[in-house]
A and B are shown apart, each in its own frame.
Chain A
Amino acid sequence: MRYITIVSNNPTVELTSTDIHVTDYGVVPVLERVRDLVHLGHHLLTHPFAGSVKPNENPFRSVVVTKGDLGVDYQSVQIAEGCLEVARRMVKERPYRDFPTQAIKDLQLIDKSLLDSGLESLRMAGKL
């Protein structure tokens, strides 16, 4: 039984039917979806920002929230809104460049490896 929902636009991440595949390019559409979910009562399980990677450096992003409405968690709302604001500002100021194929693979790998690190921790905590 999985108690999580992964919101991701990274094609290398395996998603289940209860996860949310975001088809738009860039971090902002993913964080907008996460923001909407936390207002609907999902709680953030992983931080919306990845590692030390800036939102305008890596267009691929995967965030884990709880599955279903658990009642609004104001810390989640605050973090999700704050990260979305910073991401919008940074992407507007310096949009994504055209990445060569190998760089795209590296960017997806970094996002996936950080997600996996979070999932491992959640697995130990019995969340999946």
Chain B
Amino acid sequence: MRLELGYIKVSDVQFGAITEVKNGVLFVNKQEMITTLEDERFASLEIDLAKPGDETRIIPVKDVIEPRVKVQGSGGIFPGFVSKVETVGNGVTHVLKGAAVVTTGKIVGFQEGIIDMTGPGAEYTPFSKTNNVVVIAEPIEGLLQHEHEAALRIMGLKAATYLAEAGRSVTPDEVVTYDCPPLPQALQQYPNLPKVAYVYMLQSQGLLHDTYVYGIDAKRTLPTFIYPTEVMDGAIISGNCVSACDKNTTYHHLNSPIIHDLLERHGKEYNFIGVVVTNENVTLADKERSSSFTAKLVEWLGVDAAIISEEGFGNPDADLMMNCTKLEKKGIKTVLVTDEYAGQDGASQSLADADPLANAVITAGNANEVIVLPTMKKVIGHPEVADVIAGGWNGSLAKDGTITAEIQVITGATNELGFSKLTAKGV
């Protein structure tokens, strides 16, 4: 599997007569975009723009999606939703790097996030640095939450696909090629380097807690292999309304830093063999089955070590520990990537589950840290949600519009794929 990603750099977004990319500016024909997206499940549909440095707050954020278009190769972007269910991950894909679609909607008020385009909150989200085309869709009366989620999820994917078409014929500013050979070849490469696999845990616990792989709800699948380049073509889609800080948006999946870093250091520090996608479950029997399958598949790959990333907190900590301990007991070293709910002072136990075999853990930050988000000149969405959003409390939203809350409220603040700027320094 060989994929060329052609990055078209987008440094600005503006409304214009034609949807096109010209000299690094993404112009959007607003009316055409609205007409393309119209859906009878929504009573109103509006498009707005939010750029880096704007005094703008987007709340509540449902998903963020990067515009990508397949230029060559089998299948199309977001297989199973926008394109047919055909294997992706090979050929050429163009990326509008620097642009993003943000969907907003009050699905279940307490489970969506905030993006501030400037100020202290902007430092915690990568989406303050992207030129955002915001889709504001208000549902018709009586639309159930899960129907609203599904409709808005697909609308976001369609919006990204519509914008990405503008980049189909544009010559990319940068091209990066990823080669992922079949297993027998991969195993023979770099015999002196340690062989490493990646276990990619996907939130999949039920209604409004789901992630999709090629259009299927991940909890309805057994753990399986996937090429890293398939993920870059949108094979994994976020469909969940979990805490904003550690939800993997579709943008995160497309740009997973774990996958990109593993590929970048492949052949230098280690031999990156492959990815196992697995789910996170409600019942203990399902957790046992999935973690046993995951351990078996990773063992099958014949690797020395595995990186395991989690999505969420609490219940999925059990899946994380089961994946870790079952691999360690097979003699496969593990490194876990998670985030912490260690209390506002950071002094409490970070995870809801633990095991002595989990002896190498990377934290993406403490979601309970408190931040004050100052008033913004413009708010896109529903500011009143701040009072019920996960990570806020009674009175989080002050009369002047200031929000005092835990960084948990910020989309991507403690992303467990490591897509953030948070770091730790020795003192």
Partner-B contacts on A (CB < 8 A): 44-47, 49-55, 57-58, 64, 75-76, 79, 82-83, 86, 89-90, 93-94, 97-100, 102-103, 106-107, 109-110, 113-118, 121-122, 125
Is the Cβ of A51 less than 8 Å from the Cβ of B312?
A: yes
- Check if A110 sits within 8 Å of B208, measured CB to CB: yes
B242 and A86 contacting across the interface, CB-CB below 8 Å: no
CA A50 – CA B280 in complex, angstroms? 11
Contacts of A86 in B (CB 8 A): 314, 349, 352
The answer, among B146, B246, B281, B317, for a CB contact under 8 Å with A121, is B281
Report yes or no: B282 in contact with A47, Cβ–Cβ below 8 A.
yes
Contact among A51, A90, A106, A107 for B206, CB-based, below 8 A = A51
- Contact flags B310-344 to A (C-beta < 8 A → 1, else 0): 01111111100000000000000000000001011
Question: B243 in the interface, Cβ–Cβ < 8 Å?
Answer: yes
> Looking at B209, B316, B343, which has the most chain A CB atoms within 10 Å of its CB?
B209
Given the known inter-chain contacts A83-B352, A106-B145, A109-B145, please indicate yes or no for A54 contacting B243, CB distance below 8 A.
yes
Interface residue? B49 (CB, 8 A): no
Q: Kindly provide the distance from the CB of A67 to the nearest chain B CB, expressed in whole angstroms.
A: 15
The segment out of B23-31, B39-47, B72-80, B388-396 that lies at the interface is B388-396
Query: Does B162 count as interface, using CB distance less than 8 angstroms?
Result: no
Do residues B318 and A106 form an inter-chain contact, with CB atoms below 8 A?
Answer: no
B108 and A46 within 8 A (CB): no
- Nearest-Cβ distance from residue B410 to partner chain A, whole angstroms: 16
Contacts beyond the supplied A114-B207, A117-B206: 11 A-B pairs with Cβ under 8 Å = A52-B243, A52-B313, A57-B110, A58-B110, A76-B284, A79-B284, A93-B348, A116-B207, A117-B207, A118-B283, A121-B285
The 3 closest A-B pairs by CB, nearest first: A117-B206, A52-B312, A113-B207
With A47-B315, A54-B341 known as contacts, the answer to whether A89 contacts B348 (CB < 8 A) is: yes
Q: Kindly identify which residue among B284, B341, B387 contacts A44, using a CB–CB cutoff of 8 Å.
A: B284
Contacts of B312 in A (CB 8 A): 51-52
Q: How far is the CA of A104 from the CA of B362 in the complex (A)?
A: 35
A12 CB, min distance to chain B CBs, angstroms:
13
**Is the pair B205, A107 in contact by a Cβ cutoff of 8 Å?**
no
Chain B residues near A57 (CB-CB < 8 A): 110, 390
Minimum CB–CB distance from B217 to chain A (whole Å) comes to 10
Closest-by-CB residue of A relative to B351 is: A86
The minimal Cβ–Cβ distance linking A57 to chain B, given in whole angstroms, is 5
Q: B203 interface residue, CB < 8 Å from A?
A: yes
Q: Does B287 contact A (CB under 8 A)?
A: yes
Task: Check if B109 is an interface residue, CB within 8 A of chain A.
Answer: yes
Q: Which residue of B lies closest to A99 (CB)?
A: B388
Between-chain CB contacts (< 8 Å), 14 pairs: A50-B205, A52-B205, A52-B311, A52-B316, A64-B283, A82-B353, A89-B349, A90-B341, A97-B392, A100-B388, A106-B111, A106-B388, A114-B205, A118-B283
A49, A89, A90, A99 — most chain B CB neighbours (10 Å): A49
A89 vs B349: C-alpha distance in the bound complex, in angstroms? 9
Contact of A113 among B146, B219, B311, B314 (CB under 8 A): B146
| A residues less than 8 Å from B388 (CB atoms) | 97, 99-100, 103, 106
A49 and B352 within 8 A (CB):
yes
Contact A107–B110 (Cβ < 8 Å): yes
Nearest B residue to A113, CB-CB: B207
The reply to whether B109 and A52 form a contact with Cβ atoms under 8 Å apart is no
Say yes or no: A53-B314 contact (C-beta < 8 A), given A89-B348, A114-B209, A121-B282: yes
- Are B314 and A50 in contact, with the CB atoms below 8 A? yes
B349 to chain A, nearest CB (A): 7
Find the A residue at minimum CB distance from B281.
A121
Asked, given contacts A46-B282, A97-B394, A106-B145, whether A51 binds B110 with beta carbons under 8 Å apart, the answer is no
B352 and A82 contact, CB distance less than 8 A: yes
Complex Cα gap A45–B75 (Å): 40
Q: How far is the CA of A122 from the CA of B281 in the complex (A)?
A: 12
CB-CB under 8 A from A76, the residues of chain B are 284
Bound CA–CA A103/B146 (angstroms): 15
